[in-house]
Amino acid sequence: MKWLLFAAAAAQVAQAAAAFAPAALRNGRSGRLFALTDSATTAVPSLEERQARRQKALDARVLGYKMGSTWYDAQGPRDGPPMNHWQQASAERLQRMHAGLISRTALATNGFEPPAARAAMAEEVEARARLLEGRSGKMKPAEHASGTGSWRLRFSGRPGTAAVLLAGLVVEMAVARDSTKDWRGTVFVGLPGAAPVALSFEAEAAGARFAPGELCAGQGADVPEHVLEIARGALGGASDLTYLEDDVRIGRGAGGELEVWERGE
């Protein structure tokens, strides 16, 4: 099968990785990723920094609950719900929806799960993704600044790319917008824990449409064709960005194929 060929080629990906200079650098323990362009450098907060900000916001709120017709907090009865109660409740509900989606993608791409179980979980991923797509509030998600930074592909409805994820390969994408508002990025392909092969691209973004261009390796680098095929399949050409938040990115290919990306470190 085609995906077995991808799995057999994974070792070649790791061995070839040292020959390529990645277009992104990691800074120490923080995991901060710097997406580099010709005219600007965009520093993206690490996963730990974003989580710390969220926790600080949660710790600062006043917890409240309702019993009968009366609202209460730690000090006792109060007149109405605490300030920002509904906003915080909505944010927590959204966070749970994101976590539920990502946990299902992990099961749907787990090679140790029986095929029937993976298929059932893929349907669950599709259903949960549609719920989030129905909540999308960004008018032009592909042009939004939230789309910059590092993203890891968690699920793909394209058979070739699904096979790649099932074989254990890691596909990540770093996207940045420079001072001229041109979009550029790098797609990384590799095994977990191994240095990835890095391929750069330019992209066009308009409204919900995100269209990456031709992939380019470093000067003088000879990228194996199977690596290019994996990277092209992962990016999937032009796609509609149907949902975008700080930690989850959902897109649809030309045929409606689902792709789910999670914010990387």
Burial of 253 (0-12, 13-18, 19+ CB in 10 A): middle
pLDDT in tens, 201-221: 999 888 999 999 888 887 666
pLDDT in tens, 19-52: 333 333 233 323 333 333 333 333 445 556 666 6
β-pair partners for 25: 34
Instruction: State pTM to two decimals.
Output: 0.71
**Structure tokens, 185:** 């990025």
**Structure tokens, 53:** 């900000």
**Structure tokens, 73:** 């907090």
Nearest residue to 190 via CA among 156, 149, 152, 221? 152
> Looking at residue 145, what DSSP letter applies?
G
* Cα distance between residue 245 and residue 108, in whole Å: 22
Angle between helices 159-166 and 225-235 in degrees, nearest 10: 110
Q: Does residue 62 sit in helix, strand or coil?
A: coil
* Cα distance between residue 79 and residue 73, in whole Å: 10
* Contact by Cβ (8 Å): 213, 205: no
Residue 249 belongs to what H/E stretch?
A: strand 248-252
Sign of the torsion angle spanned by Cα atoms 47, 51, 54, 60: negative
Q: Letter for the amino acid at 217?
A: A
β-pair partners for 197: 189
Give CA separation, 224 vs 17, 21, 22, 141, 197, in Å.
11, 15, 16, 33, 10
Per-residue pLDDT of the chain (265 residues; tens, 9 = 90+): 444 444 454 444 434 433 333 333 233 323 333 333 333 333 445 556 666 666 665 555 556 777 888 888 777 888 887 766 677 777 788 889 999 999 999 999 998 889 999 999 999 999 999 999 998 878 888 888 888 999 999 999 998 899 889 888 889 999 998 777 789 999 988 876 777 888 899 998 889 999 998 888 876 667 778 888 888 888 887 789 999 998 999 999 888 999 999 998 6
